[in-house]
Structure 1
Amino acid sequence: MSKLLNNVNQRTQMAGENRLELLLFRLQNGQLYGINVFKVKKIMPCPPLTQLPYHHPHVAGVANTMDGSLPILDLLSAIQSGKVQDPRKQQVIVCEYNRKMQGFLVDRIDNIVNMEWSEILLPPKGIGHRHYLTSVTRHEGKLVEIIDVEKVISEVTPAPEDFKTQFDEDLSELKASQIPRKVLVVDDSVVARNQIKRCLEKVELEAVLLKDGLQALEHLQAMLEEGKDPYEEYLMMISDIEMPEMDGYTLTRNVKQDARMQQLFILMHSSLSGVFNESMVQKVGADRFIAKFDADELAVSVLDHFRKRSTPA
């Protein structure tokens, strides 16, 4: 596991081919879970933890590491499946989500598997709306659950959604414009979809929400079959990268390689971060990338594209 992130180039190439490497781990409930290796910075035994006053009940404590203070979250407690009794016996997966480092207590690491995104499926219908899954898959006949970590983190430390920037002048221009007011939003996390939706509504834009890349591609292709031009229907598309069935890279490449859709502006918006993103955005033809979730930055990016589109070439 110490060589987890050694071959960045190989993993970058894999990501561009609708593939991923999934780190499999278990919690004390015995269930098998998975997380994209790209989000993992390191794995380590749980260090000594300091308890902070008035901390969230899902936070096991704060660790003093070489990289600074690291909050350690009891993932078992966060998904409402129990509570870790002795953190000292746990492993910690250190990840970067939404621009912040976060440690997750896990019982043990299983292995790393190479998979296609088409093997990663949406959770089955009928399990309700309170679950913590973005997707599921199978490995060696066993069910692997992929947790909606953005939902978990948002319940512990919600991202601020109020604007610090004033957009009054932009909104006046937007109201007078004939440019489409709809934005296609593609993200497998219900929390992320709703964050983006609320952000867009504050700048008086309408969000059309879809759950994965395959749904989005089929939606756009259906529009073409009906004689509609996606560029004339949508101001832009905002797409996550990690999604079941088809990832954002593959979605973007399919859209940009189709002459009928290549004018559609695509903003990639993901909690994935790292040096590979800029090269991957260029490789698949996306127009811009920003990391989740900053309401001001997202609004500025959307309105910046609106101004460019409303200015005659």
Structure 2
Amino acid sequence: MEQQKGILLESGTNELEVIAFGVGAGTFGINVMKVREIIQAPPVTPMPNSHPHIEGIIRLRDEVITVVNLSTVLGLGQSQNPSQDKMIISELNQIKVAFRVQNVSRIHRISWEQIEKPAELSQGLENATTGIVKMDDQMILLLDFEKIVVEINPEKGMNVEQVKALGKRTRSDKKIVVAEDSAMLRKLLHDTLAEAGYDQITFFEHGRGAWEYLQFLKDEDQDVLKEVQLVITDVEMPQMDGHHLTKQIKGDETLKNIPVVIFSSLITRDLYHKGKGVGADGQVSKPEIIKLIEMIDQLIL
């Protein structure tokens, strides 16, 4: 079936829609915004010497798309009836990928406040998921699809070497707040932005933490604009997503003049309007760190 867009017409509601699917005995989820369509699994052409998680390629209309087998990624049992499998055609980090799953059940509309980070004792679960949705009758694990793609193809990530190509840069005294739920990406952002001269950064693992920090500065009667010159936010985060955080900042008389840049794998052509709708000053698609640095330069120098 083709995944229809536009279900959530209003931006900044702190809600998302999750498509639940099965792999092995587990129930997992993917944000509707990442899904282009869902199809019955077609025959796959194997690719020699490819990454173990890559099953091969398929031709979908006029496009050749790489197939990633989630059973292999997650270390779960392979499908007993591959002809009944589904493929979720996803677009993230500016590429399309087909993820093989064993079944697709339904769409759940939930609040980001319902999503919890995996506990440290989840036996490595935190390395594969971005959050856990507790439903009445089940738990849905939200997979970290961006990390899956980067581990297969590191070139789709970002690194300090990219920034070094910009040449020597001066240190900046500008203070930046970053909301990013991935520990791996927080480390990468710390290293790459520091290399670019921006080393006065305060990190939060979700939008709520960043919002509470800004509110704390206000409550302490501090000049917030002297303490924070820019906010960078991901979109998908537990507790409060980036669109809602941006909407909150731009709706606050004291904070609205702080530039907000959305840095997300979800900055596709179809979804760019959502960031505009909540007042974002800029939007950059992961992993384009050079574009992010150029936008920071424009907004705060």
TM-score (normalizing by structure 2): 0.89
Q: Conserved in 1, the CA contact under 8 Å of 2:90 and 2:96?
A: yes
- Superposed CA RMSD in Å reads 2.2
Task: Give the structure 2 partner of residue 47 of structure 1.
Answer: 42
Supply the distance in 1 between the matched residues of 2:265 and 2:82 (Cα, whole angstroms): 27
Task: Give the structure 2 partner of residue 120 of structure 1.
Answer: 115
> CA shift at 1:125, angstroms?
4.0
1:104 to 93, 99, 106: 99
Residue 185 of structure 1 pairs with residue 185 of structure 2 = no
> CA shift at 1:84, angstroms?
5.0
> CA shift at 1:73, angstroms?
0.5
Deviations 1:111-150 (A, max 9, x none): 0111122212222343366631111112232111001111
Give 5+ residue unaligned stretches, structure 2: none
> CA shift at 1:275, angstroms?
4.2
Aligned ranges 1:199-238 → 2 under 5 Å: 199-206=192-199, 207-238=201-232
Supply the distance in 1 between the matched residues of 2:83 and 2:136 (Cα, whole angstroms): 30
1:11 to 8, 22, 44: 8
Partner amino acid for 2:149? Answer: I
Task: Give the structure 1 partner of residue 265 of structure 2.
Answer: 271
**Compared CA separation, residues 230 and 153, structure 1 to 2 (3 A):** farther
**Compared CA separation, residues 23 and 203, structure 1 to 2 (3 A):** same
> CA shift at 1:85, angstroms?
6.5
Deviations 1:210-248 (A, max 9, x none): 111111111211222233333212331110111111111
Deviations 1:71-98 (A, max 9, x none): 1111122133345576444210000010
Q: Conserved in 2, the CA contact under 8 Å of 1:63 and 1:70?
A: yes
Q: Conserved in 1, the CA contact under 8 Å of 2:163 and 2:195?
A: no
Residue 24 of structure 1 pairs with residue 14 of structure 2 = no
Residue 253 of structure 1 pairs with residue 239 of structure 2 = no
Residue 167 of structure 1 pairs with residue 166 of structure 2 = yes
Task: Give the structure 2 partner of residue 300 of structure 1.
Answer: 294
2:127 to 128, 131, 139: 131
> CA shift at 1:285, angstroms?
1.5
Give 5+ residue unaligned stretches, structure 1: 308-313
Name the % identity.
26
Higher mean C-alpha deviation, range 186-195 or range 282-291? 186-195
> CA shift at 1:293, angstroms?
0.9
Supply the distance in 2 between the matched residues of 1:99 and 1:271 (Cα, whole angstroms): 7
Supply the distance in 2 between the matched residues of 1:239 and 1:47 (Cα, whole angstroms): 37
Deviations 1:179-205 (A, max 9, x none): 42x321112223332332222021121
Supply the distance in 2 between the matched residues of 1:135 and 1:230 (Cα, whole angstroms): 31
Partner amino acid for 2:189? Answer: I
Partner amino acid for 1:44? Answer: I
Q: Conserved in 1, the CA contact under 8 Å of 2:214 and 2:224?
A: yes
Q: Conserved in 1, the CA contact under 8 Å of 2:90 and 2:97?
A: yes
Q: Conserved in 2, the CA contact under 8 Å of 1:75 and 1:104?
A: yes
> CA shift at 1:56, angstroms?
0.3
Supply the distance in 1 between the matched residues of 2:282 and 2:55 (Cα, whole angstroms): 37
Q: Conserved in 2, the CA contact under 8 Å of 1:19 and 1:115?
A: yes
Task: Give the structure 1 partner of residue 190 of structure 2.
Answer: 197
Deviations 1:34-89 (A, max 9, x none): 11111100111222212222100011111122142111111122133345576444
Supply the distance in 2 between the matched residues of 1:227 and 1:288 (Cα, whole angstroms): 28
2:141 to 138, 145, 150: 145
Higher mean C-alpha deviation, range 197-206 or range 95-104? 197-206
